[in-house]
Structure 1
Amino acid sequence: MLLVTGATGFVGSAVVTLLHERGYAVRAVVRDPARADVLPDGVERVAADLADGESLARAMDGCEGVFHLAAAVGAPGPEAHELNVGGTRRVVEAVRRAGVRRLVHTSTSAAIAVPDPDGPGLLVAEDAAGGTALTDPYSATKAEAEAVVLDAVAAGEVDAVVATVVNAYGPSPRGPLSYDQLLVAAARGEVGDIVDTRVGWTLAEDVAAGQLLAFTDGEAGRRYVLCGQVASFPEVLDTYCELAGSPHRVRALPEGSELSPDAPPFADRSVVYGRLGGYRVRDDHARALGVTARGIAEGLEVTARWMAAVSA
């Protein structure tokens, strides 16, 4: 039995679906029953909360693995810290108490983006010492949460791996959320300007496949960066517009530029990374593990077809 927290979220629902399709028995943590309609038939639902360690331990009873994806995105500092750091600490303790064989902790490139020693901008690397150059509550608390997991592995308390996700987009049982919202806005002509900075991109489906590989074949205490391709925001948005049959194109602003306050969701991430020069990725361990995440040309084509189907 495999337990998934954040099971009804954008990436979490993709993980649940993949595990179910691969024949695993899956138990999904569900806080809001109204959101459980995205889960496949046959997936067990269980009520648990990151704020309640006892409920987490009960949910993990009899589980061989735990995929921890639940997180607070866009929450203010104290709330982000309580859920992302405190919640992860309770997950780790529950894993230890329940005797779970392995924890897959989902992190983000924003948690390990540090100044690149070999050039301008940032580096996202699997051998990063920890910490991040980003100062927003989400990035800072995810960096701290990752340290909680890796410290527990070093202390011999749990067996765990870290799956580091870059900008996730594409088909998901949850629907067109996350960076899909920015793609849709661009195709509608609602993104006039975007900062021309380079970051990592990966399909939610490929994140799910990478997480499963990390669970089955990963090395305890190791970080695996799940990235399809590093590309600029304008390149990604214009490519999607072309594939979606949209005449709209964005105007690329130089790094360090600002966007208007009414910019669409996730457009502001181009500003954040643009101030720091974007980032490059080192994901050798994930590639050696067998992760074959698709690049933006194929990934955006898949996304455009899916988006057309779900909006029909």
Structure 2
Amino acid sequence: MILVTGATGTIGSEVVRRLAARGEKVRAMTRDPAKAQVPEGVEVVRGDFLDVESVEAALAGATAVFLVAVLGPADGGRDARMVTAARAAGVARIVKLSSVGTGDPAYGPFGTWHLPGEKALRAGGSEWTILRPSSFASNTLGWAEAVRTGRPVPNMTGDGRQGVVDPRDVSETAVAALTDSRHSGRTYTLTGPEAITVADQAAAVAAVVGHPVGTSDLSPDQIRAQLAASGMDEAAVESVLGGLLFAREGGNSLVTDDVRKALGRPARAYREWVEDHRSVFAGV
């Protein structure tokens, strides 16, 4: 039994789908099971990291766990407690979704969010794998309406280049780590094949939809306002803003070969991801 937390999110839902397609026994944990859409045969359970009993029930009988727990700077303790609870439940293998830059002081507060969970994993007691993805290609799905209506898309990172990663590569690596002990004890920093700017991404979208896509640079105050409007608390807003400004200065330009190391093939390019999501941007 493989328990997938965050089972309705970008990565978790794809992990559930891929595991089910392999014929694995999968339990999907979500705070609202009624809204979960999962493949046939997948067990859906309610689980909330703030509700210990629900977590213990979700862990019962699980042999492996995909851990998606950190939503903000205050959540690292919940992440670490989930690791402890999983080990107490006899879980043999834990794969944690972390983030690029974790543990690097240059990333500021954002680089500390996942540290408690990572440290808890490395303390021993089960097999573990840590995934540290860079910026997701899917973050640009928020551009869809602007692209369809001919408006410029927001640029929060200026001319800073990032190793934008296809979320499918992250999910596929998670499945590999959950089902194969060869990945145990590894930390994979997952990026795309090249470091690209927002302007590069806009150009890729333009090439796919067949019309120009402009960009509009946002000031730190504008970014701060957008993040606050999304529901983040002040601490999370400032942490994320710091990370974005670090990326703007070129600090998140890291590109690795870890997708190839984990999966035996190159990482997907951003253009490929856009082509596969053309209907979203073109509105057809």
TM-score, structure 1 as length reference: 0.74
The answer to whether the aligner puts 1:11 opposite 2:2 as a matched pair is no
The answer to whether the aligner puts 1:149 opposite 2:112 as a matched pair is no
CA contact 1:187–1:248 (8 Å) conserved in 2: no
| Bigger fraction of residues in helix | 2
Listed as ranges, the gaps of 5+ residues in structure 2 are 231-239
Match in the other structure for 2:233:
none
Match in the other structure for 1:300:
274
**Secondary structure of the structure 2 residue equivalent to 1:46:** strand
CA distance in 2, matches of 1:192, 1:57: 42
CA distance in 1, matches of 2:264, 2:96: 17
Match in the other structure for 1:44:
43
The answer to whether the aligner puts 1:179 opposite 2:151 as a matched pair is no
AA matched with 2:61: G
**Superimposed CA distance per residue, residues 75-134 of structure 1 (whole angstroms, 9 cap, x where no aligned partner):** 4xxxx32x2x122112111221111121000011142xxxxxxxxxxxxxxxxxx33422
**Secondary structure of the structure 1 residue equivalent to 2:70:** coil
When residues 182 and 217 of structure 1 are mapped into structure 2, their CA distance, relative to the original with a 3 A threshold, is farther
CA contact 1:190–1:264 (8 Å) conserved in 2: no
TM-score, structure 2 as length reference: 0.81
| Bigger fraction of residues in strand | 1
CA contact 2:152–2:215 (8 Å) conserved in 1: no
CA distance in 2, matches of 1:198, 1:139: 18
Match in the other structure for 1:204:
167
CA distance in 2, matches of 1:97, 1:181: 40
Listed as ranges, the gaps of 5+ residues in structure 1 are 112-129, 171-177
**Superimposed CA distance per residue, residues 23-50 of structure 1 (whole angstroms, 9 cap, x where no aligned partner):** 11110111123431x3223211111221
Q: State the identity as a percent.
A: 29
Match in the other structure for 1:119:
none
Match in the other structure for 2:100:
109
Match in the other structure for 1:123:
none
Alignment of 1:29-108 (within 5 A): 29-36=29-36, 38-72=37-71, 75=72, 80-81=73-74, 83=75, 85-108=76-99
Alignment of 1:155-166 (within 5 A): 157-166=125-134
CA distance in 2, matches of 1:250, 1:58: 47
CA contact 1:162–1:224 (8 Å) conserved in 2: yes
When residues 159 and 59 of structure 1 are mapped into structure 2, their CA distance, relative to the original with a 3 A threshold, is same
CA contact 1:233–1:270 (8 Å) conserved in 2: no
**Secondary structure of the structure 2 residue equivalent to 1:261:** helix
Match in the other structure for 1:240:
205
When residues 239 and 184 of structure 1 are mapped into structure 2, their CA distance, relative to the original with a 3 A threshold, is farther
CA distance in 2, matches of 1:187, 1:218: 44
1:8, CA displacement in angstroms? Answer: 0.8
